[in-house]
A and B are shown apart, each in its own frame.
Chain A
Amino acid sequence: MNASIDPTAPDARPRRSRLRPVDRVRTGLGGLASRPGRTLLTALGIAIGIASMVTVVGISSSSKADLLAELDELGTNLLQVRPGQSLFGDSATLPADADAMVRRVATVEDTAGIIAIPGDVQRNDHEDEPNGLSIIATDGRVSETLGLTARVGRVLGVGEQHLPVVVLGSLAAERLGIDSIEGGPTITLGDDSYQVIGILESHPLHPDLDRSVLIGESWATERYDIDPNHSTIYIRVAKDRVEVTRPLLARTANPAAPNEVDVSRPSDALEAQTKVDDNLQNLLLALGGVALLVGGVGIANIMVISVIERRSEIGLRRALGASRGHIRSQFVIESAALSTLGGALGIALGVGATAAYASSQGWTLSVPATALGGGVLAALAIGALAGLYPAAKAARLDPADAVRPHA
């Protein structure tokens, strides 16, 4: 009658079975919603793993942020120039005009030179053991350049350059047993007696100054026969110009022999201490990773049990038209959702723990967004991976066998 040879042809091939994407997700989540207790317990493993990792990263990041803020305040824009060694291995010296030359660099805001003076420091009324304190002559700009402040008394002013007075570093004051300038305490350098006019606050960037006694450079060069060249020049650079300035300094300080100049940044030394923390952090992260692995295995385990328990549900779904792929995706989604739930829980716990610790330390909370996103993604991936085997098992079930009543 018409062109169709086989009248059943249009109807011949049944449509493929089809599950809408929303329903795919919904069937995957349905299994979890029906067993809330088990879901929560199973998710706990992942939650602990993610929580510990987020906490480790968060605490380290918060403390680092705090340290960096502190360093910033102390001066990450502070550089120092010291004489290094000559080609022959002898100690080099800085040229006399190094300080003045460096100060001429456009990005340099301020400089201050010091001269280390050999000699012992003693309390007048004591016959002291060697106390490891050193004597430093400063040119009067050092307090301003380094931001030194006096805890007691005052810092060495430009007007006091020619007087036999000293300012003590905080540790030096402690070792000498001086904690006040009342009554005009004095100390002895070599044969001379000096009046203490101030005690400095401790300065974390300059532990060597903490251990020193500061005298005026003019006084020192007039009174003693010392090498007048600076043993250290402190250089304060315009903020954000440190990187461009640093390579210029050696050449500027000693154009004749730039390789005999050591340029360093004191804050680097402090920052390096955080690298020690990195090792600990990696260890803790690895432990968190192990917890995640264990959590993943736990999920795989529970999913396998779940597949065995739900064999009749699987049989039913096959009878209703579910393909193997539909069954597989249901269990992979269930497993991934279970794990992601654990991940979300872990992030909440981890951020909470970090916040509590940070506030106890007086830090501001800082958890990198990558840790949060990474945590969720890691949980999702672990869950999906853990679900592969149980899902394959579920998909392989023989539907005829699965619908039979089982003992």
Chain B
Amino acid sequence: MTPPVIELRSVVRTYPGEPPVRALDGVDLRIDTGEMVAIIGPSGSGKSTLLNVMGTLDRPTEGSVLIDGVDTRELKERHLCGLRATRLGFVFQSFHLIESARVLDNVANGLLYQGVARAERERRARRALELVGLGERATTKPPKLSGGQRQRVAIARAIVAEPSLILADEPTGNLDSRTSDEVLALLDRLNADLGATIAIITHDHEVAERVPRRITVHDGRVSELTGVGS
């Protein structure tokens, strides 16, 4: 039996301050291979904190995060980084592209910290660009791209290493509704056709409507939304 792609057990994340903020307040969550999950909730509810903890960019104050059955608390920094390089893909609201680097290099950077040789990185990056429909723009630089195209480049970078889990924090937050639809359709397709496991944070209910499994976050607590048609 394969373990879940990710499992959170009683995760608490407190930000120190006066008073301290309990951004995550006892979160239990489990996502299995091939799932596509929407995480919704109002601003400040703790969605980004949840995603960062899931992505090991942030460590929980209490509780544990298991990725592919590995307890991340037990990993040293270099192995944690290795885990991010190999098992996790990130998509951010603000794209995070290196503006001076070609689209191809931006995507290939998804394999940089695995120690893959450049030729191989580029070969796989081209394939990922084909998948997101930007095969023709490999040598373009990001400033020449539209917002939707940029986000597709970022998605290509997230999938190039074929991670176990793709974490997207408001991937459509900077896009108009038509391009949002395109980007969501792309994520849908990656999930349906390639079996990619994806968690999308959004506070847009319309976006969430399209996703089979929905989780809401409220004041640092999560609950499963059930019964709403997909």
Contacts and interface: CB of A to CB of B under 8 A. Distances in A.
A312 B94 contact: yes
A370 interface: no
Contacts of A30: 98, 100-101
A323 B81 contact: yes
Contacts of A35: 100
A14 to B, nearest CB: 4
B57 A320 contact: no
A403 B92 contact: yes
Interface residues of A, number: 38
Q: Which of A18, A30, A403 has the most CB of B within 10 A?
A: A403
Interface string A12-50: 111111111011000100100111000000000000000
A322 B110 CA distance: 10
A141 interface: no
Nearest to A13: B79
A321 interface: yes
Interface in B40-65: 48-49, 52, 55, 57-58
B93 A321 contact: no
Given A17-B82, A403-B92, A23 B112 contact: yes
Nearest to A8: B69
A323 B77 contact: yes
Contacts of B86: 14-15, 321
Contacts of B77: 323-324
B114 interface: yes
A30 B102 CA distance: 12
A11 B92 CA distance: 28
A400 interface: yes
Contacts of A8: 3, 68-70
A17 B113 contact: yes
Nearest to A398: B58
B84 interface: yes
Contacts of B94: 312, 405
Contact of B84 (A27, A320, A405): A320
B228 interface: no
Contacts of B127: none
B110 A320 contact: yes
Nearest to B100: A34
A22 B119 CA distance: 13
B57 A403 contact: yes
Contacts of B81: 16-17, 318, 321-323, 326
Interface in B75-101: 75, 77-79, 81-88, 90, 92-94, 96, 98-101
B33 to A, nearest CB: 14
B151 interface: no
A352 interface: no
B194 interface: no
B202 interface: no
Interface in A292-330: 312-313, 315-326
Given A18-B114, A403-B57, A319 B90 contact: yes
Contact of B96 (A18, A19, A312, A322): A312
B173 to A, nearest CB: 9
A320 to B, nearest CB: 6
A315 B114 contact: no
A315 B57 CA distance: 9
Nearest to B86: A14
B70 A323 contact: no
Contacts of A404: 48
A317 B114 CA distance: 12
A400 B57 contact: yes
Given A12-B69, A13-B79, A403 B114 contact: no
Q: Which of B57, B88, B90, B117 has the most CB of A within 10 A?
A: B57
Contacts of A318: 57, 81, 84
A12 B109 CA distance: 25
A19 B68 CA distance: 23
A95 interface: no
A325 B77 CA distance: 10
A403 B86 CA distance: 19
Nearest to B105: A30
Nearest to A323: B81
Contacts of B205: none
Given A11-B68, A321-B81, A399-B57, A19 B115 contact: yes
B98 A313 contact: yes
A97 to B, nearest CB: 85
- Sorted from nearest, which 5 A-B pairs have the closest CB atoms? A321-B85, A34-B100, A18-B115, A321-B113, A17-B81
14 contacts: A11-B69, A14-B82, A17-B78, A17-B85, A19-B115, A30-B98, A315-B57, A315-B96, A318-B57, A318-B84, A320-B85, A326-B81, A400-B58, A404-B48
